Structure 1
Amino acid sequence: MKKTMLALTVSLLITTQGCSDSTIAPEINNTQSDSKSLAVEQTASEKYLAMVDAFFQDQLKLEPIYATFVGVNDYNDQFGGSLTEAYLTERHQLNSRYFDLAKSINVEQLSAPLKLSYDMFVYDRNMELIGETYPERFLPINQFYSTVFTMVQLGTGESAQPFKTVADYKNWLSRLRGFIKWTELAQQRMDEGIASKVVLPRVLVEKIIPQLDAQLVEGAQNSLFYSPINLMPDSFSSDEKSELTQEYQSVIEKELLPALAQLRQYVNDVYLPNSRASDGWWGLPNGKDWYQHLANSHTTTTLPVDEIHQIGLSEVARILSEMDKVREQVGFKGDLNAFFASLSSEPQYFFTDKQDLIDGYMIIKDQINAVLPQYFDVMPKADYIVKPVEAFREKSAAGASYESPAVDGSRPGIFYINTYNLKAQPKWGMTTLSLHEAAPGHHFQIAIKQELTDVPQFQRFQGYTAFEEGWALYAEYLGIEMGVFNDPYQYFGKLSDEMLRAMRLVVDTGLHAKGWSREQAIQYMKDNSPMAESDIVAEVERYMAIPGQALSYKVGQLTILRLRADAEKALGDKFDLKGFHEQLLTTGSLPMAVMENKIATWIEAQSAN
């Protein structure tokens, strides 16, 4: 256990930051004498909780769309500054102010859970401040994650944005106008990126153009942004419906569609000719250092990218050996590459009807749910549904994804399946995908986190990719013990998905730190997996767009498995798997070092019992 690592890191971070009385938040240190007296009487825990609550409220105000997603509707009419200089300044001041405030807390007087929370809070503020030193603002859009996608999803009326009252409908129009201004700011930031040579690879820009084309429809009624008009409650009067219909038609036709058309023209005529030929972050100014930061940020570790690359090569070799054992078990006569080709092409491994694929996942849901109580004492209150990815984003979307339930319980979690290409959705991959995206993977971890009542608010909604994706990949591993991989083909599916995460360590670092080309990365994945080529291309282009994110899955899983092995070895017969899972799920998402400290403390407590 590296229990001292985080404490040392936090200590170093705090001592390297200056402190100014002028930055103390008024909620914590008011200048009036009565408030000073009250502050003296506060315990360390009270002071910490007041601080993080004030931070959370300030963060919601700064990030109004985030507020909507976490169920706070006070800012539903606001889009947020996002790319403005004022926003960037305010974000920096927010993180600096609360980083300094954290130093006024006597950490030794905090309870064990709040010490854990404190470590998370300090870690977050520091990583945010480091991240500001890189010009991410010059890359406001890509083909995988996009504000345009987010706004379309919100505007359909089927996401977090509420459309229950007339005020809700007017709030959305106000937010939509903020988005329209964002399209202009995005072009300005991309102009700055062109001047600074911080631009996307050409192949990614080419993928953005048809995504924007999909929104450029004839007439407001054909726009997805018109969807709320078709969902107006019966409680609205005829006058209210008429007024809202006219307003939506006007804003969409006269403001939104022209703005999106202008953005599309800019991307095609200005940005595309200035895009870069290199495929990885190494091709950007200071790109290798930037990539190392992104790798650290996403994995919540300090692993050098060269070491991550080597871990990936080792894992790929191990998993290939396991795959070959399955080939032998099922009696396939050809070699492993022939087995890959068979699994990727023969008709019996694929559905021909999209609804059959969705129905198949519902059957798997019931099978997994039946055995979950044997492995978990804590489960989410919210359910999840299985739903196909929307048509407007299915061409570039991942094969599957998960959207968390509404915080107030009004909407279940959503397990999205991309039905665009059924040849990319083999039957043998369904069990592992369900374990990962739904239960006990993302749905358990994220829904339980949101439902926590005894942690600070920020902790319920803060997320770390390494923890969340590491947990989901661990959930796939747990499927072996749960007995849901009795079919060797389904077990092969588990290995195939694990291979994807192992290849990511190789390919992501190859692209961004070792000068690999897009084609080289695609070929590596084709040589080492049975994935459909369309999936491989989408994966590689995803890594190109959001470097470092794909590293977090395998690094997180390996960390969780190591911690479990440590606990099993230390506790022997005292080891309780349900208890171990409860430790991982009931304090929210954690940086790897914080998680290591928590499990070390738990092992000590269990040993003493």
Structure 2
Amino acid sequence: MSLLLSTALGAALPMAAIGATPGAEDAKLQVLFTDSDEARLSRNPLSALARGDLRFADSIGMPFTDAHDAAECAASERDGKDLHAIRRAALNATDRIAYDVFDTNTKLDLIPCHDRDLLTSLAVRPINHFQGFHLNYAEMASGQGTAPFRTLADYENNLKRNRAFAGAIDRIIGRFRQGMALGIVDSKLTTRNMVEQLDLQIAKGVEGSIYAAPLAKMPDTIAPADQARIRDEQLALIRDGMIPALTRLRDFLRDDYLPAAREGVGLSAMKGGDKVYAYLIRRSTTLPLTAKDVHQIGLGEVARIRGEMEEAAKAAGFNGTLAELFTYMRTEKRFQPTSVEQLREGFGAIRARVEARIGEQFSTIPAAPLDIRPTPAFKEKTAAGGEYMRGTADGTRPGVFFYNGYDLPSRYLWESETLFLHEGEPGHHFQISLAQENANLPSFMRYGGNTAFVEGWALYAETLWKPLGLESDPWQRLGGLNDEMLRAMRLVVDSGIHAYGWDRDRSIQYMLDNSPEAVTDATAEVERYIAIPGQALAYKMGQLTISRLKAKAMAELGDRFDPREFHAQVLMTGALPLPVLEKKIDDWIAAKKG
């Protein structure tokens, strides 16, 4: 990325200017944050690795164990107690924000800790076809993920992690068996999808395994004898440990778990599912919403966006009904890319246009580079149309915007601009990079966050199409509206599935009736909501909150409103729970008004 850091990160911290000199309580708070973060990283070494912290890079920890869960709960209890021993009123303004974020996060973490049934229901479904160890670890260890492969030590650490792989897989099987005994099981649909994913990994064999990929490009700085040794050890691990473990998991899911899995796709069909869904709504949105609240908000947004689509269709010269418009957008050949290379070049051109105008909206630009790559083949069938992988704070690993080239006729060109705004600039790449590059923030705010803010910001970033000079083509505007419609439909469909008993086919049809989404995309979306309930609610609820706060600031500040200052207020203290963000913006407005 050609953009440079345009202002000092410290200077861009808007609240710091009105905070007092750090005092005794501020110092206590920073010690708590540091100690808590260090302890969390030691318990979760793969999280440290994702940051670029290699101190624990030879370990995967002990995930999928009761001891790990108990340690996480004990840490949250301790963190909450230590936090409440600090006098919030004595903190400076910036630290009061940090206090509120830490308090909110800790309370959310403790909800399942205080409810054994809820904690168990979450634990006994340890992976699914959208996210889980079998996918995340594969990507990390592929040479294209978060684990570095630059030195001999990196390859040695990879071998040590891989030796622990089979044990983690067997613990996953144990968790699933525990759920079977309790009658708390996932859906047959999700189980079949996991079996298919595992089939694909196993079928690659030893040499073709994604875990062997780093062997193909070992750096010359590693001595030939060491290269030969590492290659032999890694291939032996894949042959004798990793593929057999994946095979055990596949066979168990196919032969034992699938017959016991539930037919109903929603949590309402699972024992204790209503309680689980209520928690996941709160966890994903950070707001006190019920399933009914979410459903009604979604229906209202779908109706509003349909009206805007009708106006945009007229601007494009299309005179048919919305149903006819959706069919046209799905089937018109000129909207369908002919190659993955065409997608890559198109996204590169969009980036150049965005970067030419980005300084009009943002005072601080990430230093981290942004790569644009196709989604890895091993996950493209069930992956989203675009995804973002964070880089490292020091820039040694770039942020990556992955675009999905699977089933090219369903990857419509009219969605390219809005997809780049969301996943790349100024969406995920800006929000995540600016937070972790800001050394003035405590680590939990630099590297942590919540889905409502992270995804809400990315969806809000799509609304900046006009000041950034995009969507001048009315079909791209319709693409932008379609992406907003997707997030509105998520409120309806996710709650429909998990609270109102909607099945897969009804959910897919609702999406096709209200958008030009391809059947492939609509199917992947619905199966995603089935696999990870509640997560998809965060996008629209976060965007609605940020957009509402912006409208409020514009109305109250008038000519004193500067979008660059507003965006700094939103971004430069990390991913805030939405109530904390609202208070921060209200305080900023009041300070600006004097």
1:526 aligns with 2:512: yes
Contact kept? 2:354, 2:469, Cα under 8 Å: no
What's the CA shift string for 1:197-217, capped at 9, x where partnerless? 221111111111121011114
1:494 counterpart = 2:480: yes
Quote the Cα distance in structure 2 between the aligned partners of 1:210 and 1:277: 18
Distance 1:527 1:219 in 2: 42
Counterpart among 73, 87, 95 of residue 92 in structure 1: 73
3-state SS of 1:554 partner = helix
Match of 1:307 in 2: 293
- Out of 496-505 and 190-199, give the one that drifted further: 190-199
Give me the whole-angstrom Cα distance separating, in 2, the residues matched to 1:171 and 1:481: 46
Query: Are 2:87 and 1:106 equivalent residues in the alignment?
Result: yes
Residue 152 of structure 2 is aligned to residue 166 of structure 1: yes
Instruction: Please report the TM-score for the alignment, with normalisation by the length of structure 2.
Output: 0.94
1:478 — aligned with what?
Answer: 464
Displacement of 1:465: 0.8
3-state DSSP of counterpart to 2:415:
helix
Q: What's the counterpart of residue 70 of structure 1?
A: 51
Q: Which amino acid aligns with 2:65?
A: T
Equivalent residue runs for 1:397-436 within 5 Å: 397-436=383-422
Select which of 550, 556, 565 maps to 1:564: 550
- 322 and 576 in structure 1: CA distance in 2 versus 1, 3 angstrom threshold: same
CA contact (8 A) 1:400 1:417 kept: yes
SS in 2 for 1:391: coil
Percent of aligned positions with the same letter in both sequences?
A: 39
SS at match of 2:401: strand
Contact 1:399/1:424 (CA < 8 Å) preserved in 2?
no
- Which one of the candidate residues 444, 454, 457 is aligned to 2:443? 457
1:39-75 alpha-carbon deviations (Å, 9 max, x no partner): xx97000000001100000000011100100121111
Contact 1:155/1:225 (8 A) holds in 2:
yes
Structure 1: how far apart are the matches of 2:329 and 2:439? 46
Distance 1:387 1:493 in 2: 21
- CA deviations 1:588-607 (Å, max 9, x no partner) are 00000000110011011111
Against the structure 1 CA distance between its residues 592 and 63, is the aligned structure 2 distance closer, same or farther, given a 3 Å change threshold? Answer: same
Instruction: String of CA shifts for 1:137-191, please: whole Å, max 9, x gaps.
Output: 1011111002111111121112221222222212111111222101111111101
State the AA in 2 paired with 1:431: E
TM-superposed CA distance for 1:123, in Å, is: 0.8
Q: Which amino acid aligns with 2:59?
A: Q
1:79 aligns with 2:60: yes
**After the TM superposition, which of the residue ranges 156-165 and 114-123 deviates more from structure 2?**
156-165
Aligned counterpart in structure 2 of residue 439 of structure 1, from 421, 425, 432: 425
- Aligned CA distance change for structure 1 residues 219 and 422 (closer, same or farther; 3 Å): closer
User: Are 2:171 and 1:185 equivalent residues in the alignment?
Assistant: yes
**Residue 207 of structure 2: aligned partner:** 221
Matched, 1:116 2:97: yes
Shift of 1:521: 0.7
Deviation readout 1:292-334 (Å, 9 max, x if unpaired): 1101110010022211111100110111111111222222232
Measured in 2, the distance between the counterparts of 1:222 and 1:439 equals: 34
1:10 match: none
What residue is the counterpart of 2:138 in the other structure? 152
Tell me the secondary structure at the aligned position of residue 494 of structure 2: helix
Counterpart of 2:336? 350
Task: Give the match's secondary structure for 1:222.
Answer: coil
- Give the residue type in structure 1 aligned to 2:40: Q
Shift of 1:218: 6.2
Find the counterpart in structure 2 of residue 23 from structure 1: none
Aligned-residue offset at 1:239:
1.5
For residues 568 and 164 of structure 1, the distance between their equivalents in structure 2, rounded to whole angstroms, comes to: 49
Q: Aligned partners of 2:224 and 2:481: how far apart in 1?
A: 57
Quote the residue 1:61 is aligned against: 42
Provide the C-alpha distance between the structure 2 equivalents of 1:436 and 1:299, rounded to a whole number of angstroms.
18
Instruction: Name the stretch that deviates more: 218-227 or 394-403.
Output: 218-227
Per-residue Cα deviation, 1:486-537 (whole angstroms, up to 9, x for no partner): 2111110000000000000000011111111111111111111100001001
- Amino acid of the structure 2 residue aligned with 1:602: W
- Residue 228 of structure 1 aligns to a residue in which SS? helix
Partner residue of 2:33? Answer: 52
CA–CA separation in structure 1 for the residues paired with 2:144 and 2:200 = 19
For residue 8 of structure 1, what is the aligned residue in structure 2?
none
Give the equivalent residue in structure 1 for 2:6. none
CA RMSD of superposed structures (Å):
1.3
Whether the 8 Å CA contact 2:386–2:403 is kept in 1: the answer is yes
Amino acid at match of 2:539: Y
Contact (CA 8 Å) 1:315, 1:502: kept in 2 or not?
yes
Query: 1:320-367: per-residue Cα shift (whole Å, max 9, x none)?
Result: 111111222222232111111011001111111111111111001101
Question: Residue 251 in 1 paired to residue 251 in 2?
Answer: no
Which whole-Å CA distance do the structure 1 matches of 2:222 and 2:422 have between them?
41
Q: Is the 8 A contact 2:387 2:402 kept in 1?
A: yes
1:551 alignment partner AA: L
Residue 381 of structure 2: aligned partner: 395
Gaps of 5+ in 2: 1-21
Question: Post-superposition shift, 1:448?
Answer: 0.5
Aligned 1:235-314 pairs, distance under 5 A: 235-314=221-300
Q: Which runs of 4+ in 1 moved over 6 A?
A: none
Tell me the SS of whatever aligns to 1:216. Answer: helix
Quick one: distance in 2 between partners of 1:117 and 1:300?
Answer: 16
Structure 1 CA distance for aligned equivalents of residues 236 and 439 of structure 2: 44
Q: Structure 2: how far apart are the matches of 1:495 and 1:42?
A: 49
Which 5+ residue runs of structure 1 have no aligned equivalent?
Answer: 1-40
d(CA) in 1 for partners of 2:476, 2:23: 56
Aligned residues of 2:122 and 2:276 also touching (Cα < 8 A): no
Conserved? CA contact 1:292–1:305, under 8 Å: yes
Q: Who is 2:312 aligned against? A: 326
TM-score, normalised relative to structure 1: 0.92
Is 2:434 the counterpart of 1:448?
yes
